[in-house]
C-alpha cells in the first residue's frame, strides 16, 4: 500500500490521497503530501555555510508586537515560578493588546511575511550555528519550533483564503510546550510536534467583540 507523508507536520496517510484530502492534523492540502519511498530515509545533515539573515534595522515595535513579547515573557515567568512578574507582564500584554486594535486579514498577512522570513532565513542560520556549536539542545528545540512555524504558515495560508470562517464553530488550541496551534473541536491526543498529551493544550478564548 502506498504511504504519503505530510511535509508540514509529518502525519502519515496510508492508501491513495483523494484530491480534496486535508491533513487531519495540520489541515494542509494534498499538495503538501509526498509519497514515502523506502530509500527516502533522512540524510545525514551536511554542514553548509549559511549566510546570516539580513540585519534588522532598529525600529519601533508595534503595539501588537509589544503585546506578543509581553505575553511570552509572562509565560516564561510562569514557568520559572515567578507569578508576580508573570502577572505584571500579563497586565502589560493586555494594555498593548487593547492599544493595538482589531486583528484582521492585513495583520495576518504581516505575520505570514514574518513567518516566511523566519523559515527562509532565520532557521537555516540558527540551525547552522547550533550544529556548528554541537548544541544538541538547541538543535532539538529548533526542530520543534521549525515544525510549529511551518504549521503556522499553513494555517495562515488557510486563513488568507477563508478568513474568520476558519475558526467559526470550532476551537483553537495551543500546545503549551512547543507552541503548536491546532484548529479543531478537541485537541489532538498527542501533540504532533512534541508528543505531549492533550491536557498540555490550552484552549484559546474568543475575544469579546
Binding site for Fe ion (CB under 5 A): 175, 177-178, 180, 191, 193-194
The SS3 of residue 148 is: helix
Return d(Cα 161, Cα 61) in angstroms, integer. Answer: 28
Residue 66 or 115 having the CB closest to Fe ion: 115
Residue 28 or 191 having the CB closest to Fe ion: 191
The least distance separating Fe ion from the CB of residue 201, rounded to whole angstroms, comes to 8
Residue 25 or 175 having the CB closest to Fe ion: 175
The least distance separating Fe ion from the CB of residue 57, rounded to whole angstroms, comes to 33
Cell of 139: 538543535
Contact assessment for residue 100 and residue 62, using Cβ atoms and an 8 Å cutoff: yes
Contact assessment for residue 149 and residue 80, using Cβ atoms and an 8 Å cutoff: no
The least distance separating Fe ion from the CB of residue 12, rounded to whole angstroms, comes to 18
Residue 4 or 182 having the CB closest to Fe ion: 182
- Give the dihedral sign, CA 85/91/95/101: positive
Element containing residue 203 per DSSP (H, E): strand 201-203
The least distance separating Fe ion from the CB of residue 26, rounded to whole angstroms, comes to 12
Amino acid at each position: 500500500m502506498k504511504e504519503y507523508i505530510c511535509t508540514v507536520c509529518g502525519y502519515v496517510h496510508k492508501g491513495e490521497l483523494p484530491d480534496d484530502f486535508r491533513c487531519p492534523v495540520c489541515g494542509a492540502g494534498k499538495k503538501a503530501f509526498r509519497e514515502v519511498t523506502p530509500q527516502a530515509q533522512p540524510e545525514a545533515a551536511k554542514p553548509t555555510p549559511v549566510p546570516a539573515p539580513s540585519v534588522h534595522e532598529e525600529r519601533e515595535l508595534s503595539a501588537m508586537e509589544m503585546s506578543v513579547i509581553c505575553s511570552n515573557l509572562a509565560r516564561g515567568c510562569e514557568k520559572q515560578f515567578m507569578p508576580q512578574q508573570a502577572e505584571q507582564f500579563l497586565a502589560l500584554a493586555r494594555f498593548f493588546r487593547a492599544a493595538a486594535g482589531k486583528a484582521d486579514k492585513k495583520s495576518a498577512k504581516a505575520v505570514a511575511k514574518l513567518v516566511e522570513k523566519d523559515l527562509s532565513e532565520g532557521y537555516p542560520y540558527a540551525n547552522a550555528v547550533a550544529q556548528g556549536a554541537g548544541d544538541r539542545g538547541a538543535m532539538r528545540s529548533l526542530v520543534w519550533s521549525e515544525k510549529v512555524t511551518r504549521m503556522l504558515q499553513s494555517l495562515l495560508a488557510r486563513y488568507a483564503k477563508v478568513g474568520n470562517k476558519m475558526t467559526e464553530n470550532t476551537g483553537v488550541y495551543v500546545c503549551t510546550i512547543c507552541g503548536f496551534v491546532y484548529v479543531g473541536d478537541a485537541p489532538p491526543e498527542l501533540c504532533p510536534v512534541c508528543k505531549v498529551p492533550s491536557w498540555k493544550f490550552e484552549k484559546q478564548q474568543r475575544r469579546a467583540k
